[in-house]
Chain A
C-alpha cells in the first residue's frame, strides 16, 4: 500500500479515526507520519486529518481531468482557477468538475448526499430522482438474474416517471 500523502513510499502507519458516525482512514509512510506528528496519536485531531486528506483531494481534482484542463462551458471557469481560489465560478461548475469534486466533498463533509431542505418547487423532482435510482438498481438486478419480464415492467415504469417529470418542469420553470 502506498502512502496516501506523498504517494511514493510504502505506508506503514495506518490511522483510523471515527468522527461522529463517519470513519476516516489514513495510510502514511514513516516520514509523512512523523511530519504530521502522528507518532503521538493522542494529540492528533480532526483538523490535522482534514488537512492531510484535503491535500490528497486537491490532487484528485487534478488527476480526474486526465491532464486535460477542464473548463466550465457556462462561465469559463477552469481548474486552475479553482486551485487558486478554492471557489467555483457558477452553479454549473459543480457538474463540470463533478468527478474531481466528489473526492473533495467526501473529505470535507459528513456525507456526499444532500439530506436537508429542498425548495418546494424541486420537491417532486427530488423524490422522483430518488425513486428513479431505486428502480434503476432493481432493473440492473433483474437483468443480471435474467428476469426479463420484471425488467420490462421496470423499464416502462422508469420511462413513465422520466416523461412525467420533464414535461411539467419545462412548463413551470
Chain B
C-alpha cells in the first residue's frame, strides 16, 4: 500500500499555491455526482454490491490520463489519522472519512482531482483550484466526466438528468463552491445579512468543513443549492457573480473598519498575535480563529515581510490530525494543545509584532 503521507504535498507547498483573489477566496471546487445505471445507491446497496461498484469504477478512474500516478485506495485500508488528514485538506468529505468496505478514493498527485467512490453516490468527482477559478474547475471536471462516461454507464434520464441518491443533487449533479475568508464582514457584524441575502439567491453558506459545520477561522463555503432546471455554465456564472459581490463587500468592510474603528481592528489583530506568539497551550479552534486575524493583519500590511503562506501553512499543520502526524506517540487532546502552542510560537519567532499606522485625520473612534 502506498503511503498517503509521502504522497501528499507538504503543507508548506500547499500554502504557497496561488490563484486569483486568493486574499479572500482560498479555493474553488466543482463536484459532480454520478451513479452507475444498474446498481443501487451506496446508502441502500448491500456490501457485496458496493464492493462490485468500487471494483468497476476504480480501474476506470485510474485509467484516465489525469490520474496518472494517482493515489488510489479502498477506504478500509486507510487509518483513521490518514482519513482525518484528507478531511483537513478538503480532499474528502467528513461523510466519506466515515465509510468502510466498498468505498474508495482516487487522488491525483497535484491534488487537483479527487474522486470519492461510494460516498452518497457511486461517484463524487471534484476538481480543485486555488483562489477564484470556478470556470477552470468546471472545465476540468467536465472533461474528466466526459472521458469517464466512455468507460462507465451512468444513470441518466433525458427529462431529469443524472440520477442521484438524494433528489437535491438531481439533474446536473453539480456543486460549485468557493471557500472564502471573511474576517472583515465578521468583525464589521455584516456577515449575517450577507448570508441571508446569499440564501435568498438560492445559494448555501456553510462552515469550514461543509454541511453542518462551524465557520471556524471566519472561513465560509458558498455553493449552489439547486441542480436541476439550469445548466452547469449558468450555475457557475451565477455563483461567480455573487462571489464578486461578496469579495467587494469584504474589501469594503475591511476598509470601513480601518477608517472608522482602527483601534478595534488593531486591538483584535494585536491580541491575536500576542496569544499566538506567547501561548503555551492552545486548542485548534482558538488557533484557527486567531490565525484568521493574523491573516487579516498580513492582508492589511501590519506584518511587513510576513507572507500569507506562513499563516496558511499554520492553519493546516495546527489542525488535530496534521499535528498528530508529526509525532510518533499518540497524543491526548491536552498534549496536542501544548505541542500546538510550541509549534506556533516557534513559527512566529521571526514575525515582529504588528505595526500600527498612525490614525488618519478626520476620523473618530
B226 at the A/B interface (Cβ < 8 Å)? yes
Q: Are A109 and B158 in contact (CB under 8 A)?
A: no
B73 at the A/B interface (Cβ < 8 Å)? no
Q: Which residues from chain A contact B190 at a C-beta distance below 8 Å?
A: none
Task: Return B212 CB to nearest CB of chain A, in Å.
Answer: 14
Q: Are B202 and A20 in contact (CB under 8 A)?
A: yes
Interface bits A122-139 vs B (CB < 8 Å: 1, else 0): 100110011000000000
Q: Which residues from chain A contact B230 at a C-beta distance below 8 Å?
A: 110-111, 115-116
Q: Are A105 and B167 in contact (CB under 8 A)?
A: yes
A120 at the A/B interface (Cβ < 8 Å)? yes
Q: Which residues from chain B contact A111 at a C-beta distance below 8 Å?
A: 228-230
Alpha-carbon gap, A21 to B297, bound state (A): 41
Alpha-carbon gap, A83 to B227, bound state (A): 21
Task: Return A122 CB to nearest CB of chain B, in Å.
Answer: 6
B333 at the A/B interface (Cβ < 8 Å)? no
Alpha-carbon gap, A97 to B154, bound state (A): 20
Q: Are A116 and B161 in contact (CB under 8 A)?
A: yes
Give the nearest-CB partner of A82 in chain B: B167
Give the nearest-CB partner of B196 in chain A: A45
Within 8 Å by CB of A114, from B146, B172, B196, B199, lies B172
Q: Which residues from chain A contact B202 at a C-beta distance below 8 Å?
A: 19-20, 46, 110
Q: Are A89 and B44 in contact (CB under 8 A)?
A: yes
Task: Return A19 CB to nearest CB of chain B, in Å.
Answer: 6
Q: Are B199 and A110 in contact (CB under 8 A)?
A: no
**With contacts A94-B157, A101-B167 known, is A112 near B229, CB below 8 A?**
yes
**With contacts A88-B41, A89-B41, A110-B228 known, is A117 near B160, CB below 8 A?**
no
Q: Which residues from chain B contact A117 at a C-beta distance below 8 Å?
A: 142, 145, 172, 231-232
Q: Are B166 and A86 in contact (CB under 8 A)?
A: yes
Q: Which residues from chain B contact A87 at a C-beta distance below 8 Å?
A: 41, 43-44, 120, 165-166
Alpha-carbon gap, A112 to B145, bound state (A): 23
Alpha-carbon gap, A86 to B319, bound state (A): 33
Q: Are B39 and A90 in contact (CB under 8 A)?
A: yes
Q: Are B160 and A121 in contact (CB under 8 A)?
A: no
Given contacts A91-B38, A116-B174, 18 further A-B contacts (CB under 8 A): A19-B200, A45-B196, A45-B199, A88-B167, A89-B41, A91-B155, A91-B163, A101-B167, A105-B170, A110-B202, A110-B226, A112-B228, A114-B162, A115-B229, A117-B172, A117-B232, A121-B149, A130-B158
A residues adjacent to B (C-beta < 8 A): 19-20, 45-47, 75, 77, 81, 85-91, 94, 101, 104-105, 108-122, 125-126, 129-130, 173
29 contacts between A and B (CB under 8 A): A19-B200, A19-B202, A20-B201, A20-B202, A45-B199, A46-B199, A81-B44, A85-B43, A87-B165, A88-B167, A89-B40, A89-B41, A90-B41, A91-B41, A91-B155, A105-B160, A108-B167, A108-B226, A109-B226, A110-B229, A112-B229, A113-B228, A114-B162, A114-B171, A116-B174, A116-B231, A119-B149, A120-B150, A122-B156
